Structure 1
Amino acid sequence: MLEPSPDSSQRGHRPAGISHWINIADAGDLVALPRRLGDRFPVDVHHETHMAALHFHTLDTYLGSGLTAAALAPHCTG
């Protein structure tokens, strides 16, 4: 379901309109595989951390992460 889809080498491409890509992955998140998207996509920055022992693949956990806040802060006004 990726647009554009990975090429024949299984290497993905940066979606149109994305100028900077930061990947943040919980090391224990079994759903977010592969965690190192930079191995398959042109990711600018990759962070891997431990966010939660339980409920690791939830929006609240990722949005509550200091890494997510730091990644979004330069793009927020207010």
Structure 2
Amino acid sequence: TLKRRSSAIKKKREIFKRAEQYVKEYRIKERDEIRLARQARNRGNYYVPGEAKLAFVIGIRGINQVSPKVRKVLQLFRLR
């Protein structure tokens, strides 16, 4: 039980350090965004922050001989 307890404590510390690292990283990113916006404003320009991009890549042979639910999903995604 002593080994288990010590390993649990080590794990908790590691998890806490990881969480701190994430917080630090996001604070730095936030500061950079603010800095870039201010810099652009001072120079008379506009700063457009980056947006999240997501792409689905699906290879399909066709819509025939597919169950109705799957067919409907493909139609909704406009993958006819």
- What range is the shorter-chain TM-score in? under 0.3
Structure possessing the higher radius of gyration over alpha carbons: 2
TM-score normalised to structure 1 length: 0.18
Q: Which of the pair is proportionally richer in strand?
A: 1
